[in-house]
Structure 1
C-alpha cells in the first residue's frame, strides 16, 4: 500500500511538471538526458575536499534550458542516439547536460605567485576540470556500468558524497584544464563542475579569478579567496 502511495505521489509531481512546463507526455520522450542548458553567467565558491584540500565549484546561473518540448533537445537526442530509454518519471532525476559549445574557454589566474608561476598568469597546467558525464552510458545505449567502489579517480574522490549524488548511469569526468575544449561538453553534466588543484602552493592564501568565455563571445568573471591552510 505504501508503495502505491509513493507511485501516486510521483505521478502527481510528473503531472505538475508537465502542466507547468508544457512538456510532452512521458511516452512521447524516451531520452535519458532530461534537458540541455545554454549557460552564460556563473558564480564560484571554495569548498574543502574529502581529504581537506580546497577546490573551486562553479555554479551556473539563469541558463537557457532546452527540454523535451524544444527542437534543440530533439535534435541533440537524435545526434547522440539518446532515445529508447525506459524509466518511469525519468526527468525528475535525469541529468542536465551542457548545450554543445556553450563554453568556448575557461582560464584561472591568482593574485599571488603560485609555485613559480607569476601572479596573473594562467594556472591551467595545475588545475583539473572535474565533473560527471553521461557520454559512455548514452553512447552504449544504456548498457555500461561504472564501478563506484573501485574506479573513482582520485581528483573526483575529493568531491566526497557530493560527487556520488548523480543520476544512474553517470560516471566521473576528469581532464586537465589546459586540455579542456568545448568538445568536452558533449553529454557533460552541468553539476558538479569543479576546478581541482594538482599542486599544493607554497604561498597559502590566494584570490583566484576564473574567466569563462561563453558562446556569445563575452567573457564572464568570478573571484574567490582560498586559504589552503584553512579551507
Structure 2
C-alpha cells in the first residue's frame, strides 16, 4: 500500500500563460515531489480553443490535454536539474474577461478521488472559490492550505506559505540590497529580520505611491 503523503495543488492558471499562478505552483509541485516521499498532483485549468486564444501568448494552442501537459513538462525540464515525478490533472475552466481570471467550471474537487484526497494547497483561493460548486474543501480534504489571505478567516485557520523553492530564486537573491520605504512601527523589526538574514536593509521615510521617486 502506498503510504506516501498525498498533496493536490490547485491553481487557476497554467503555462504558457506566464503568470505567477501558473509558474509558482509548477515549481512547487516539482520540488515537493523531489525525492519521491510525497505523491504530488498539480491541478490546472483546461480552456476551450476560444479561451486559449484570449489567454495564451504567441498563438499557442492545444488540441488535447496531452499536448499541453507535454508542453508544460518540456518547459520545466529546461529549468530544473532533476527528474520530478508528479501528476498533472485538468479541470474545465473558463476565462472571465471582466475579472481577467480563469474561473473553474463545475465541482473541481471531483478531479481528485476520495482515496487520494489528503492535503489540498490552494493558490489564489479567492479565484478558486468565486463560484464553487460541490463539497466543502474541508469535507473532501483532511487539511487545506490557502496561499493567500484574501479570503475570510475561519476558526483554526492558518495562512501558510508552502515551498517547494526553486534554488535559482535563492541564488538570484544572494547579496541583494533592500531599500525599505516606510518608517512606521514595524520598520525596526523588518530591519532586524534583514540583519539576521545578512541582508543590507536601508530604511527610508514613507512616501506616497504617486511620489516621483518611484516613477
Q: TM-score range by the shorter chain?
A: under 0.3
Looking at secondary structure, tell me which structure has more helix per residue: 2
The structure whose residues are more often strand, as a share, is 1
TM superposition score normalised by structure 2: 0.26
